[in-house]
Chain A
Amino acid sequence: MSAPATLSAHRLTRRFGNRAVVQNVSLELRKGEVLGLLGHNGAGKSTTLQMLAGVLLPHEGSIEVCGFDLSGQPAQAKACIGFLPENPPLYREMRVDDYLLFVAKLHRLPRAQLATALEEAKQRCGLQDCGKKIIGTLSKGYQQRIGIAQAIIHRPAVIILDEPTVGLDPAQIREIRTLIRTLGDQASIILSTHLMNEVETVCDRVEILHQGRLIYGDSSMKMQQFDLQPGFTVTLLSPPPLAELEALPGILKAEALSATEFRLLHPADSPAAAELLARAAQNGWQAQQLTPIKNRLEDVYVKITQGETP
């Protein structure tokens, strides 16, 4: 991780009235990185993203985008940002092409590049056939794609997406995820989501926001191993009594999931699995399937956020 930081937020605090919605949030995003922002409803995800995009001003803290201070040099900083808010900001009465060109001009894209940028954005978001259509007549899924297209048309270095796959059908969700991955090679992306498998497939790194504070941040690989008890499940077609399994060397705990399925826990780095297979072959237990226990990200998320609830 030696790529230069494209976006860094330092101790952001934002209040609505007396209630602090975001407190002391510091984030750093590097070039070519996809960061997932997780959290319950009302955890402050949207507020944080709006502050990063310059729509809301933080009450405390500072944000730097591509070397420009967002409050000191807003024009230069915002030119590097593409933002898709929770509700895509679409002018319903405009045609798709006109709208995208307006957004591109608004982001100071040079006139000579407008046509190619428009084609590229439409092609990436699968909008080739509806350039002449009025936005208000298109379906929710298409509107969401236009929302993503407007965020990437000026080829920003930092892309901020607030729940990008909401309202899309499964096939479109896959397309958009692939798109996010490809975009993530050149730009840095920060996205908020409720969907854990989205984090698994798309994000390099995860930050969990809970009641306005960041409570966990790590790579998504590491998050999967959070608080993990090593072990495996195994299917034995003619199993021995449970006590015999538990008595095997290196097994801490054995549990029967069904008549033929067992979950065995063992200390880290022990050869318990090989041991079990050898025994099974010796005694004719007919071992069939052995899968190491893997945390589901969802469970980890619940575990982390519940630990924090006062």
Chain B
Amino acid sequence: MILTIAYKEFRNQFALPSNWFILAALQVLFAWFYLGRMDAFLQVQAQLAQLANAPGATQAVAVPLFGSLGLILMMLVPVLTMRTFAEERRSHTLALLLSAPVSDAQIVFGKFLGLMFFLALIVAVGTGMVLTLGLGTHLDFGLIASNALGLLLMAACYAALGLYLSALTAQPVVAAIGTLSLLFGSWLLEASAPDQEAGWRALAPTSHFQSLNNGLLHSGDLAYFLLFCAAFLLLTARRLQTNRLAD
């Protein structure tokens, strides 16, 4: 049942012309960053070679690239999540899901999974582009894998938050702007918090991406991602339930 909803959600992402445009623009942007990074790396390569423990191509090119993809996703995911519930409410299709023999949790999780398929595709395409580095040098596959995983987990958090905000309103644009400002706010919080105040920093999903970005798989970060997603998915399911009671 969850998969039925997830598959339909995934398929419908491709029915929107705007999503094709977003995918194309993302590819161009990512390729641009990629070439820029390559260029910078080639320029300093000679000096790097003289260092004792010099960063390799993976660390110098792939790691910052994944970092910037993370930031792009922050702006992209709200656009993808905004329609999930807000649009259904506006076009009166939510009644179909609410009258179907599926629980609220199944609806929410199905939609989340469908979005994750789509986001996984985006991450996979980005990772594929980074893997072309392997044509010219040896790659640190562990580092790339941890980055891809990190991106996916971070995107999952964005998606969970986006779903919740979309469930709060009937206006997709409101949901998108709300999600974006919350994500951006948390990122600013992380960027501006002084070093000694790690507590504030730990609130932002982006800060937990840092260690994965550097190839460090930290169970604390994994727990954060899972808890973040679970919390917002549960809140979304709860929101649907209260919606049936008071409209």
CA distance A142 to B101 in the complex (A): 26
Inter-chain CA distance A107–B8, complex, in Å, is 14
A86 partner residues in chain B, CB cutoff 8 A: 92
User: Which residues of the other chain, A, contact B103 by a CB distance below 8 angstroms?
Assistant: 74-75
A81 part of interface (Cβ distance < 8 Å): yes
**What residue in chain B is nearest A105 (Cβ atoms)?**
B4
Taking residues whose C-beta sits less than 8 angstroms from the other chain, chain B's interface range is 20 to 34
| Chain B hits for A57, CB < 8 A | 244-245
- 8 Å CB contacts to B: which residues of A255-306? none
Decide if A89 touches B1 in the complex (CB within 8 Å). Answer: no
Give the distance in Å from the alpha carbon of A16 to the alpha carbon of B98 in the complex: 19
Q: Which chain A residues lie closer than 8 Å to B99 at the CB level?
A: 53-55, 78, 81, 83, 85
Out of B11, B12, B96, B244, which one reaches A103, CB within 8 Å? B96
Chain A's closest residue to B4 (CB) is: A105
Is B91 at the interface (CB under 8 A from chain A)?
yes
Query: Chain A contacts of B93 at CB under 8 A?
Result: 89-91
B101 with A75: CB separation less than 8 A: yes
The residue in chain B whose Cβ has the minimal distance to the Cβ of A99 is B8
- Contacts A75-B103, A90-B93, A91-B93; A55 near B12 (Cβ below 8 A): no
* C-alpha gap A98/B9 in the complex (Å): 12
Q: What band does the interface of chain A fall in when counting residues whose beta carbon is under 8 Å from B?
A: 20 to 34
Smallest CB–CB gap between A29 and chain B, Å?
16
Residues of chain B within 8 A (CB-CB) of A74 are 101, 103
The answer on a CB contact under 8 Å between A56 and B244 is yes
Which chain B residue shows the least CB distance to A150? Answer: B96
Q: List the A side residues contacting B96 at CB < 8 Å.
A: 89, 103, 106, 150
Residues in A whose Cβ lies below 8 Å from that of B244 = 55-57
Hey, which chain A residues are within 8 Å of B44, CB to CB? none
Tell which of B15, B95, B98, B247 touches A94, judged by Cβ atoms closer than 8 Å: B15
Interface residues of A (CB under 8 A from B): 16, 50, 53-57, 59, 74-79, 81, 83, 85-94, 98, 102-103, 105-108, 150
B: which residues have CB within 8 A of A? 1, 4-5, 8, 11-12, 15-16, 91-103, 244-247
